[in-house]
Structure 1
């Protein structure tokens, strides 16, 4: 019994160390496939040049990170909506010198289209899984 206690204590210590050593998800887009996919979708739909893409990618990446932080930090829907609007305005102001005002505003339209496409794709996958389960 004593050995079991020691083994469990050691295992819990090891698990807690590895959990705390990981980087926060909201602070990094380096390995974020959805964030990269969103930027590529926006880039293609706005027909950005390579120079525009290089200049706007860090701005859009920071925008995605900030929106995730707002979603996590604010539980009140009205405060969350207000903070999201503030983040969008700041992002648009940074994008205007790079893309122009019309295309900077279209970034958010394309973001919404991307989110809708992802929702449709996830719904289709869910429906396919249900069909497979019923057929088995």
Structure 2
């Protein structure tokens, strides 16, 4: 089994979290890192496991490259039955109404196409004191135990 880690980042934090998770997921198999801005929806293979590390941008939207990735995916509307995924969301609680909306959007889109979420969606709070990369590694270790 391969693990595909997709990241959607505006400031680089979600990309950094994805990089921090890389070695953890390598324990489960081969790992590939994808910037959603590159639009690699063909990498969504039900035979593999998929991880999404994504920020929330603006008024609760996905970062620009991630928006295009999911627009292309929703337009193609493939049957993702059998595809398993996990989401590491990033947000800031000072934005109460849109906190971690990016991660929630990813879950909605993927499950809407038949995919299955594994584990709990993580919600990192940029206003908190937790180091995002440390939390990404801890969360990834939990997810590896579930795949």
The structure with more radius of gyration: 1
TM-score for both structures, normalised by structure 2: 0.30
More strand by share: 2
TM-score for both structures, normalised by structure 1: 0.32
More helix by share: 1
